[in-house]
Amino acid sequence: MAGSGNRVLAPTLSVSEPSCASVVPSSTRGSRPEKGWPVARPALGVGVIRHGQISTAGHKSGVGFVARCRVNDGTKVHSVTAHGLSAAEATEALLTKLESWTPPKRKRAAAVGPDGEPLGAEVDTDIERVGVDTTLGDAVRLWLAEVSADPELRLQTRDYWRRVARQTVLKDETFSAKLVSRLTAGDAARFIARVKRTTPGQARKARSMLKLVMAMAVLDGDIPHNVILDTPRVSRGKKKVQALTHEEFHEFRAALRAWREASIGRGGSPRDPSFLVTDVTEALAATGLRINELLGLRPQDLDLDGDKPTATVRGTLVSVTGHGITWQEAPKTESGARCLTLPALGVAAFRRQLELNSSDDFVFTTSTGAPVSEHNITRVFRAARPAALNFVTPHTFRRSVATWLKAADATAAATAQLGHSSEAVTEEFYIQQQTRGTVDNSVLLQSILEHPRQG
């Protein structure tokens, strides 16, 4: 079986070559014709592997031998090698290797999403549908690949689901190795419970993603039921809403001013020379915008010279893994697209930024003209806020605006200002409930009691 010179792929094993479990059946064997090569080869069945003639040669290091052959897996030809101290030992090692040989996983070119965002290993899978032998990890990757290729989904949404998968299912090798066809509601519930113990905020997201993945598996036909529907829902866990009072708002503004004036920054430069954080704070209080909606405002989104100055929300900044901070041409939700009339405090903040920055891209920018990261604003808030206001974050101003409007008008006004789709969301998660004082409905009750119903 040892040979030298050029090696070619033989259509069959020669009679003298030992066979192994993975080679083509003997019924397809034959000898290569002397003329007319190449000829049509018989089709290979699924899982059938055919290898060509084995050749040996001395190792380039001068020690031992290398045995080589080519293997056809039905779609591609691969070169397989093995080493030994002698030609016979190298050949025997190669035959042993061929008995359990499987094609190597193909390397893919770096994938990108519809907006050019790089896609990582979380979408790398060779399957095209979910079957009974598909692992949960591969099912998640297939679902993510479809999500990541959908241009109808927002860039932020696509990145959100990839991040959830990395941080939950794909992170747990034992759970992701389970077969989809054998996954039980108990398996899923125990996994979600483990996630909740370590990272509570991810548990609801993990369950939502698994429900969508299993729905895809059911549609593919081999999985009869979505077992995630049988798992208990993960409660959101209601947090106490904390909003600033008017007095606390002015106290925070004063603390921010003191922080800016107390000392100079790195390299001797004054802190916040462009009043960026100051104006962001006042614009948040004047609009109730999400921080990235505010930082994503462009000069063309503002009309400061009209009878009623306005700011129009048409998009938002998003931070995408491997893609950095970019502008998304759609706010977080459909109801988030809105036009807000600005109070004088907001007009002054926006006007100052337009005059100081003179950027054509965004109202708020860094010194280099780049979009501002919300993390930089949050970092300054932590450094400047007094101990009594250590709960203040950029999102606190959104809750504060909702609470102020509710107190002055009604929940409907707060819902419209914040761009929510329902008053229930505003009421439950954004409005700080006031301590109940004396309940006085005496006049209303008396009017009812004075006029008894007829009949």
Between the alpha carbon of residue 60 and those of residues 3, 4, 7, 56, 66, the distances in Å are: 17, 15, 18, 12, 9
Where does 316-393 have alpha helices with state H? 344-357, 374-384
Structure-token pair, residue 123: 């979408």
Is the residue at 241 inside a domain? no
Name the domain boundary from 50, 75, 104.
104
Asked if residues 176 and 135 have their Cβ atoms less than 8 Å apart, the reply is yes
How many CB atoms sit inside 10 A of residue 330's CB? 17
Q: Identify the CA nearest to 78 among candidates 55, 49, 40, 56.
A: 49
Structure-token pair, residue 370: 């780049």
Q: Identify the CA nearest to 242 among candidates 407, 391, 413, 423.
A: 391
Task: Check whether residue 188 and residue 100 sit in a common domain.
Answer: no
Number of domains in the chain: 3
Task: Check whether residue 97 and residue 127 sit in a common domain.
Answer: no
- What's the burial of 212, exposed, middle or buried (CB within 10 Å: 0-12/13-18/19+)? middle
DSSP E strand stretches across 214-356? 302-303, 310-313, 316-320, 324-328, 338-341
Task: Check whether residue 388 and residue 334 sit in a common domain.
Answer: yes
Residue 276 maps to which CATH number?
Answer: 1.10.443.10
Between the alpha carbon of residue 86 and those of residues 2, 4, 62, the distances in Å are: 11, 15, 12
Is the residue at 451 inside a domain? no
Task: Check whether residue 67 and residue 194 sit in a common domain.
Answer: no
**435 CB contacts (<8 Å, ≥6 apart)?**
none
Whether omega for the bond prior to residue 38 falls within 30 degrees of 0, making it cis, is: yes
Is the residue at 218 inside a domain? yes
Task: Check whether residue 293 and residue 326 sit in a common domain.
Answer: yes
Q: List, for residues 398-426, the tens digit of each pLDDT value.
A: 888 888 887 776 667 667 777 766 666 66
- What's the burial of 16, exposed, middle or buried (CB within 10 Å: 0-12/13-18/19+)? exposed
Distance from C-alpha of 194 to C-alpha of 246, rounded to nearest angstrom: 42
Name the domain boundary from 89, 104, 119.
104
Task: Check whether residue 62 and residue 168 sit in a common domain.
Answer: no
Is the residue at 225 inside a domain? yes
How far apart are the two ends of the chain, measured CA to CA in Å?
110
Task: Check whether residue 273 and residue 304 sit in a common domain.
Answer: yes
Between the alpha carbon of residue 240 and those of residues 94, 166, 331, 402, 410, the distances in Å are: 67, 30, 26, 14, 20
Asked if residues 322 and 118 have their Cβ atoms less than 8 Å apart, the reply is yes
pLDDT digit of tens for each residue in the chain (455 aa)? 444 333 333 333 333 333 333 333 434 434 444 444 444 444 444 445 677 889 999 887 778 899 999 888 776 788 888 888 899 999 999 998 888 888 765 544 445 666 666 666 777 788 889 998 999 999 999 999 898 888 888 888 888 899 999 999 999 999 999 999 999 999 999 999 999 998 888 999 999 999 999 999 999 988 999 999 999 998 876 677 788 888 999 999 999 988 888 766 666 666 777 788 999 999 999 888 999 999 999 999 999 998 888 899 998 988 877 678 888 887 777 777 888 888 888 999 999 999 888 788 999 998 888 899 999 999 999 999 999 999 999 999 988 888 888 777 666 766 777 776 666 666 655 556 554 454 456 566 556 456 554 54
Is the residue at 190 inside a domain? yes
Q: What type of residue sits at position 48? A: V
Is the residue at 312 inside a domain? yes
Structure-token pair, residue 204: 């609801």
Dihedral sign computed on CA atoms, order 350, 352, 355, 360: negative
Where does 124-199 have alpha helices with state H? 136-148, 155-167, 173-176, 185-198
Task: Check whether residue 314 and residue 340 sit in a common domain.
Answer: yes
Task: Check whether residue 100 and residue 120 sit in a common domain.
Answer: no
Distance from C-alpha of 259 to C-alpha of 254, rounded to nearest angstrom: 9
Is the residue at 300 inside a domain? yes
Task: Check whether residue 256 and residue 405 sit in a common domain.
Answer: yes
Is the residue at 349 inside a domain? yes
Q: Is the entire prediction scored with pTM above 0.85?
A: no
Distance from C-alpha of 210 to C-alpha of 189, rounded to nearest angstrom: 11
Task: Check whether residue 279 and residue 318 sit in a common domain.
Answer: yes
> Cα 5 to chain center, whole Å?
53
Task: Check whether residue 151 and residue 80 sit in a common domain.
Answer: no
Give the range of the structural domain holding residue 192, as residue numbers without chain letter. 111-230
Backbone phi and psi for residue 400, each to the nearest 5 degrees, phi listed first: -65, -45
